Structure 1
Amino acid sequence: MSQFPPVDEQMRILMRGVDFGDEQTYKNMEKELRERLQESYDTGRPLRVYCGYDPSSPDLHLGHTISMRKLRQFQDLGHEVTFLIGTFTGMIGDPSDKDSARRQQTLEEALEKAQTYAEQAFRVLDRSKTRIRYNHEWLSKLTFGDVVNLASNFTVQQFLARENFANRYARGDAIWLHEFFYALMQGYDAVALETDVQIGGTDQLFNLMAGRKLMEAFGMRPQVVLTFPILPGTDGVLRMSKSTGNYIGIDEPPGVIFTKVLNLPDSVIRTYAVLVTRWEQDEIDALFAQVESGQLEMRELKHKLAWEIVSIFQGDAAANQAAEDAHRMHEGEAPSDAPVFVLTAPMNILDVLMEGGLVKSKSEARRLVEQNGVRLNGQIVTSKEQMLTPNNGEQVIQAGKRKFLRVVAG
């Protein structure tokens, strides 16, 4: 008996969420994956699967975890997974989603940011079944002749046909030669790892296909590629990115993650449910059917989604606490992790806001009060002359939607 589940079962799990934006590519890759899985099932050899992550910032966010969850599914089905950190490609930065050149970084900078990547990845991946590799191990050893040889497999027209390059070319914006090298380097990663399957975002399809092209050039069987939709950020429009500030970091405090999910636009909730959660498709469809019929409020669904996402990365206990804190905040109470300010003498509300760290300046505190953005024990503060005294017991200040301060007598 094979050590792997039946091929049909594996295909049902692995093809969920796959999107190429092209029906024929979907059919081709589906057919090739099924063939590889059948061979694996018959021979007992696990497939070699990988995804690469450039360390452009020290933290991973939910957008990164879409491909990581797919890697975990391959692991759970018995296949070999490599978490590749792009320490060399990260020196250039992938231009796939950019309308201008990225700032280059040094290898030392990339390695420094990469230090936290692996540990954060184990929030999703099985530590005991994951290989961590760094692509400077082989890319830094290529000679100029090697690079020329890789480049001979592609034309400039192929690169200029890419939407981001085409737009920049049409505008007369600079397209730097080193940006073309990125696809060559990512493609060579597939050769170096002798991979069966590579995973990436839909914006990565050109680079993944470059890997197939180079594997063929090296006399190897071309890899199967699986691409997945790009996760929109908390604004519901732009792709999630730390540089644009619309991200949900997997290492952020549970309460922050929970609150950010609650504040997502309704239009992206199904996308998050499909791409980020552990829920089965039937469960997702049932939940949204309840919303459409009025049996379930959208906010209640958001609470379920927020709990699920916090649970995945922080555990059930943290998710329960974050849900309780969200309820407390909705009622105007301070969450469990709210900072404490010790009041030893009567003090003006503006001074408490500033010294308690809720605002950066007294003028900001004044503006917040004028905009009815400050509450004291659930009541809107209407006067900038409001005084707090130590003999009133514990008091709770709320500044904006998310900032709380517990004021206690000292």
Structure 2
Amino acid sequence: CIYINDEPADMFGKVMTIRDELIPVYFKLCTDVPLQTVDALVQRLAGVTVEDTHMSLFANPDNPRDTKASLARIIVARYYGETIAAETEESWNKQFRDKEKPQEIETVNVKPNKLIDLVGAHFDLSRSEARRLISQKGVKVDDVVVEDELMVLKKSALVQVGKRRFVKFKI
């Protein structure tokens, strides 16, 4: 569910996760892109070459990922302005497309503790949710996948939970 008061990064990310077949629906309901252009876009996504005067809105109208990025930028711009939309897209591309870490990562001072407890407490997860994430290889410490749920964090480390949540635990 995408809310109009979501943070720009959350809004952008949620649009990027919609199913490809919903792209035209979102364009029709959430943007001012002319319906003729949306119809042409649907045809382009299906592999039919169609020209439309508004196709310049899209970086690569033949690629669903790029089309969703254009949709996300348009929606974020509607609520936060073009500058923030462009910054959000750039940040999203760095983190997800280019696999870079975010520039600003929260640092938390902690005492040596089990990773499962630190992850659970900091990311507001139950112990069983943290255990499940670790067992499914969804937690990394300094870019290394953690498989031992009993691992004790004894030195400062960058911890990644999932694809986009990072925290620097400082011991």
TM over 0.5, yes or no? yes
Contact 1:333 / 1:377 at 8 angstroms: preserved in 2? no
C-alpha deviation, 1:287, in angstroms: 3.1
Aligned to 1:352: 118
Matched, 1:382 2:147: yes
C-alpha deviation, 1:250, in angstroms: 0.5
The alpha-carbon distance between structure 1 residues 375 and 317, as it changes in their structure 2 partners (threshold 3 A), is: farther
Contact 2:13 / 2:92 at 8 angstroms: preserved in 1? yes
Matched, 1:407 2:168: yes
The alpha-carbon distance between structure 1 residues 301 and 334, as it changes in their structure 2 partners (threshold 3 A), is: same
Structure 1: any 5+ residue segments left out of the alignment? 1-246
Aligned to 1:267: 21
1:320 partner SS: helix
Aligned partners of 1:379, 1:291: CA distance in 2, in Å?
Answer: 37
Matched, 1:301 2:67: yes
C-alpha deviation, 1:266, in angstroms: 1.4
Which amino acid is 2:65 matched to? R
Aligned partners of 2:142, 2:41: CA distance in 1, in Å?
Answer: 36
Matched, 1:363 2:124: no
Q: TM-score, normalised by structure 2?
A: 0.75
C-alpha deviation, 1:391, in angstroms: 4.8
Aligned partners of 1:281, 1:258: CA distance in 2, in Å?
Answer: 22
Please say which structure displays the higher CA radius of gyration: 1
2:86 partner SS: helix
1:373 to 125, 135, 138: 138
Equivalent positions of 1:149-164 (< 5 A) are: none
Matched, 1:287 2:48: no
C-alpha deviation, 1:407, in angstroms: 0.4
Extract structure 1 runs of 4+ deviating beyond 6 A: none
The alpha-carbon distance between structure 1 residues 277 and 337, as it changes in their structure 2 partners (threshold 3 A), is: farther
Aligned to 1:257: 11
After superposition, the CA RMSD in angstroms is: 2.7
Aligned partners of 1:377, 1:292: CA distance in 2, in Å?
Answer: 41
1:293 partner SS: coil
C-alpha deviation, 1:254, in angstroms: 0.8
Contact 1:349 / 1:386 at 8 angstroms: preserved in 2? yes
Q: TM-score, normalised by structure 1?
A: 0.34
The alpha-carbon distance between structure 1 residues 384 and 377, as it changes in their structure 2 partners (threshold 3 A), is: same
Structure 2: any 5+ residue segments left out of the alignment? 49-59
1:367 partner SS: helix
C-alpha deviation, 1:268, in angstroms: 1.3
Aligned to 1:312: 78
C-alpha deviation, 1:346, in angstroms: 3.5
How many pairs does the alignment contain? 158
The Cα offsets for residues 202-251 of structure 1, whole Å up to 9 and x where unpaired, read as: xxxxxxxxxxxxxxxxxxxxxxxxxxxxxxxxxxxxxxxxxxxxx31101
The alpha-carbon distance between structure 1 residues 408 and 261, as it changes in their structure 2 partners (threshold 3 A), is: same
Equivalent positions of 1:35-184 (< 5 A) are: none
Which amino acid is 2:115 matched to? I
1:326 to 56, 68, 92: 92
C-alpha deviation, 1:396, in angstroms: 4.0
Contact 2:112 / 2:152 at 8 angstroms: preserved in 1? yes
Higher relative contact order (CA 8 A, sep 6+): 2
Equivalent positions of 1:233-252 (< 5 A) are: 247-252=1-6
Contact 1:332 / 1:377 at 8 angstroms: preserved in 2? no
The Cα offsets for residues 85-107 of structure 1, whole Å up to 9 and x where unpaired, read as: xxxxxxxxxxxxxxxxxxxxxxx
